[in-house]
Amino acid sequence: MTVLDSLRAAIAALGGNPLRSVLTTLGIIIGVAAVIVMVAIGSGARSRVDGVIQSLGSNLIQVLPGARSFSGVRAASNLITERDVPAIRAGAPDAVLIAPFVRGTAQIIAGNLNWPTTAFGVTEDFFAAREWSIGEGRLFEPTEMRGGKVVVLGATVAREMFPDGSPMGQVVRVNRVPFTVVGVLAEKGQTPFGQDQDDAVFVPLDTARQRLFGRFASRPDMVDGITVKGRSAETLGKLEADLHEVLSERHPPTDAGEGYNIRNLGQLLEAQASTSRVLALLLAAVASISLVVGGIGIMNIMLVSVTERTREIGLRMAVGARRRDILSQFLVESVVLAFAGGLIGAALGIGASVAIARAAEWPVLVEPSAVALACGFAAAVGVFFGYYPARKASRLDPIEALRYE
């Protein structure tokens, strides 16, 4: 009896009671569908984190003011200054771009429209460090960096303030100070915390401190932070250590608190991605239990089938069927049940993944390797749990089987 003959016999036997066959494979269907959905969600999470990393800029570390206590209340200390930039350049050779910045809330007015947003005062290296390209117009020229009243708009601000035309060359008021629009940045999207990166405007650093934000009147060299771009992802650890060494000398900690704060954006996002991966693997492991439960169900039904078809088994042996033919027949039936359940579960899992992606607006990636692995595992479950019933059937005594009522 060939494998093809066993397959035909298995399909005929299972087709004789289709409802029982479907119910038998229900555990496999649920398990495979759940595994595919969980793996798809995990892959989508990794894809989303990769997209966020690209939008923020790669290999970035931010130097921020440390938190200090004032009359028992913790607040930013504002100790970071432009004078830290040459010190970082000298003490951290892996820093390829160093961009100090200031920021604050701003009201943008153009004609009869106004829009609340965030205003940044930046240097020429800020956009290169963030890998932020220009969508229209240009960035600041060197002559404009010393007090020039020019502004580059984020895509959201440009869309809200100039819905019917180009903002290029237009005059907008930022906190009542007139600025000429020289460029619009390409869209970046949201940060991991849900903030719209495109809802911002950018002016030269000195202009922001002199004209927009009054808190810099007493400390004109003060900045709100410094963005440092590393040479590569492999050198970020050394760069962070060098930054700690440089800044700990310039801003030593006191009883009031730390003098600075360093944030490795790559580590923060990698931690988020790692958490998503662990959660997806945990859920996939839980879903895999359904496959085991489904395998137990297949074994139980196959044992019942062996009992119901005892006379049939005896008759097959009486007309010349060998023990391995009986073993092959029942084992193929078990594998067909499991593999069919795997295919149905794969179809449901892909459909559920697409539905989740559309309903939750969450990136979901269905990997062909995950589908193939789930179906293959389902078939393996059929072999594992179907072997005992098949072996039991092949070990029946032909004479006793023919006498079975």
- Tell me phi and psi for residue 118, to 5 degrees: -110, 130
Helix (H) or strand (E) holding 64: strand 60-65
Tokens linked to 220: 């004109």
- Residue 4 has a pLDDT of 67
- Residue 70 has a pLDDT of 46
- Residue 59 has a pLDDT of 81
CA distances from 75 to 44, 96, 221, 258, 355 (A): 37, 31, 20, 11, 45
What is the pairing mode between strands 225-230 and 113-122? unpaired
- Residue 109 has a pLDDT of 94
Going from the first residue of the chain to its last (405 residues), give the mean pLDDT of each consecutive group of 10, the final group possibly shorter.
62 68 78 80 69 65 72 56 91 92 93 92 91 91 91 94 91 94 89 78 93 84 90 84 89 70 70 65 70 78 77 77 79 82 87 80 73 80 81 77 64
Helix (H) or strand (E) holding 45: helix 26-56
Tokens linked to 69: 């206590």
Domains of the chain by residue range: 3-52+271-403, 80-250
Sign of CA dihedral 109, 113, 118, 124: negative
Closest listed residue to residue 38, CA positions, set 344, 345, 285, 358: 285
Q: What secondary structure does DSSP assign to 152-185, as a single string?
A: EE-HHHHHHH-TTS--TT-EEEETTEEEEEEEEE
- pTM of the full predicted structure? 0.61
Which residues does residue 99 pair with via DSSP β-bridges, in sequence order? 227
Residues 6+ apart with CB under 8 A from 369: none
- Residue 320 has a pLDDT of 76
Q: Which position has the token pair 């892909």?
A: 350
Report which DSSP code applies to 209: I
- Residue 386 has a pLDDT of 80
The CA distance from 279 to 379, in Å, is 26
